Amino acid sequence: MLAILQKLEEKRAQAKLGGGQARIDAQHKKGRLTARERIDVLLDQGSFEEMDTYVEHNCIDFGMQDQVFPGDGVVTGSGTINGRLVFVFSQDFTVFGGSLSERHAQKICKIMDMAMKVGAPVIGLNDSGGARIQEGVASLAGYAEVFQRNVMASGVIPQISVIMGPCAGGAVYSPAMTDFIFMVKDSSYMFVTGPDVVKTVTNEVVTQEELGGAVTHTTKSGVADVAFENDIEALLAVRDFFDFLPLSNRQDVPERPTADAWSREESSLDTLIPDNANKPYDMKELIAKVVDEGDFFEVQPTHAPNIITCFARIEGRTIGIVANQPLALAGVLDINSSKKAGRFVRFCDAFDIPIITFVDVPGFLPGTAQEHNGIIKHGAKLLFAYAEATVPKITVITRKAYGGAYDVMSSKHLRGDLNYAWPTAEIAVMGAKGAVEIIFRKDIGDKEKIADRTAEYEARFANPFVAASKGFIDEVIMPHSTRRRIAMGLRKLRNKQLENPWKKHDNIPL
């Protein structure tokens, strides 16, 4: 018995060393943690239970039978974050560069299958050189097995990917199919083809960072959600973020105690909207003053900043917020903001997270670039997402709600449950100046007449009462009472039941 116990301890020690001390030191020199150190930071202390510690690869080509490491380049198992169950895999760059083999993939698939059975999220810590070339097509098959599970788990359990090193080639498609992607600046990158291939094929000279670094993907492409300074910051942020998410689509949203009174009034909101309709204000100020303790977690803060998507809490319960941001492009809807918000709305709907929408939108962004790149199709994604969503939907129009953008932003006509407007709301087909120049085209030369017509149009439509008189707005509310109204609305809607017609699945305009 003593001998077998000693062997167990030796095996465990060998597994914990990964690819050996020299490779661990090399990982640390790059400013990166090892696979196991990352799990220790992410999970509650002492909660991690490892699975498949002793799994080894089965490759006998190219001398691989002489290079065997227990665990085969990925640490898998389960643990808790603030006491709530989560399954984790963490790729170990010290073992064959974290490359994915057949057995490595089987380990990931096993914990994903387990997560689906019990209804718990999966967090993947990615740090891999890609497919293990020595295994050839078996490695590619392993990727496809993981992809299939990503798709089956989508909308059933939350899936979070944290890119903490290289992620290239086919490896990028697993994170791409998860719900959220976090990256580490100057340390992680994602691309389908690397700089060398790009140079060969297109003659473009580009660095790894420019091609697929954290800043590139969180600003330009929108592939990733948030970029962090280092491994520790990223992992601690994931812990905070995890607290907003339900464990599965069968579980209710998490609830945490709060001392912030649901009926709290915020008098400063009464003066948030500037007197000049063309002057911007910060929509984040409104969000911070309405939600519990001013705390919210923004998703994709640097991509399409003209729309804000974030998670917050009201009465301790998670909500999703979509809000136009007047500080960026006057809050217009464009291709990027429509895609960003559309995906966020669909995530909230999949996991029964109520959606609060703050509207100040002058319309869709004009221009050939937008039209030629498909603003019609991309704008329809957001429209489609709001229209199919069956979760509680509360909308507050703070200022402008013009044209088709008014319809798209969770209007009453898209089954909005409670649609409120501030007294400063302007709900119309378009701004007064543009409308008058179309309606009274023949009077354009007469400045006085046009000024009178503009004033007349503003008096008629630059307020929320026309829409309210038709029942499109449920109530015109005072800005200071916004939190109270939303809290009461969420209470009312907690047992909302609404089902879409039976279908295999919808056909969202992709």
Nearest C-alpha neighbor of 386 from the set 406, 371, 364, 402: 406
Q: One of 119, 170, 194, 434 is an active-site residue; which one?
A: 170
Q: Which residues of 123-146 are buried (b: 16+ CB within 10 A; e: fewer)?
A: bbbbbbbbbbebbeebbbebbeeb
Smallest Cα–Cα separation from 410: which of 369, 363, 457, 355? 355
d(CA 138, CA 144): 10
Helix (H, G, I), strand (E, B) or coil at 75: strand
Question: How many of the other CB atoms lie within 10 Å of CB of 31?
Answer: 12
Q: Which of 120, 312, 387, 405 is catalytic?
A: 405
Which one is catalytic: 155, 194, 316, 404? 404
Judge whether 63 counts as a catalytic residue.
no
Question: How far apart, in whole angstroms, are the C-alpha atoms of residue 189 and residue 208?
Answer: 7
Residue 56, CB-side half-sphere exposure with 13 Å CA sphere? 14
Residue type (1 letter), 248: S
Known active-site residue 170:
yes
Is 222 catalytic? The answer is: no
List all residues 6 or more positions away from 438 whose beta carbon is below 8 Å from its beta carbon: none
Candidate list 19, 79, 129, 169, residue with the active-site label: 169
Does the annotation mark 379 as catalytic?
no
Q: Where are the beta strands (DSSP E) in 316-369?
A: 317-324, 355-361
Show which residues are catalytic. Answer: 169-170, 404-405
